[in-house]
Structure 1
Amino acid sequence: SDVCVTCTPAKRYFIHKEHVAPGTFLAAVGADNERKQELDPQLFVFNKVVTDVLDQCAEIGDLHHAIAQGLVQPSNVYAELGELVAGRKPGRTAREEITIFDSTGTALQDAAAAAVVYERAVQQERGSRFCF
């Protein structure tokens, strides 16, 4: 597959290095604590890795498992998502490149997404209003 997004409570990885074709984009969003894991730690060794928040992913994300095994260091991570969005670093630079997005989630991103959804709902007069 060209795009693979995982969002599971898996405690053992199920996406193996040998099953990922050149040019694939992987987004792992299920590992939100140190016991969860979706990606083979070997995938982090030679591929372009982007995180939502590097420090958090190094502690609890799929990246954390690769670090714990001594395969990579936080300094091996290519960028945080904000750097790509701001244009400070380019995204994919080669067609065959395997890119990995390790996302552990941040409250700021959740709040920003909720604000956009709310604004669109108000504009489209959708949803229900209620008092707290």
Structure 2
Amino acid sequence: MMMKNKLMRSLAILALGLPAVAYANTAAPEASLTQQEQMAADFCDFATYGVMRIAGARQGGATKSEVLTSHGESMTELKKLIDPQTAATLDKYWKDAIDRMFQESVLKTDAEKQAFVMSVGESSFYSCLEQILEAPKN
């Protein structure tokens, strides 16, 4: 029961921040993206959603063990749906995020927690884009 309450709290924190992410994604002026840029944006959007879930779980009071268990279960299902290299990349990215999030303190107010999750999401998205778009092309 305790895990369910923590999960619900972390989902609530994440849900409170999603309208701001949606606004940020629509507020930017329309620009023509290359296919590579669009694919990078789509990948990073998905990767960032995972990072925000991790941050929300941390701020919602979940333990690292609980988050790792949930991550493992999610990856088992995701590996059935996507290619192995992409799954391995996401697995590593999210495990690194779990390690980073559990070095952070749980904040006191829901507003602080929401701001933290949003900040993590924004920095994760842009960092991901930078890494992908600046990676050497094969």
The verdict on a shared fold, with TM-score over 0.5 as the criterion, is no
Tell me: higher relative CO, structure 1 or 2? Use CA pairs within 8 A at least 6 residues apart: 2
- Larger Cα Rg: Structure 1 or Structure 2? 1
TM-score by length of 1: 0.27
More strand by share: 1
More helix by share: 2
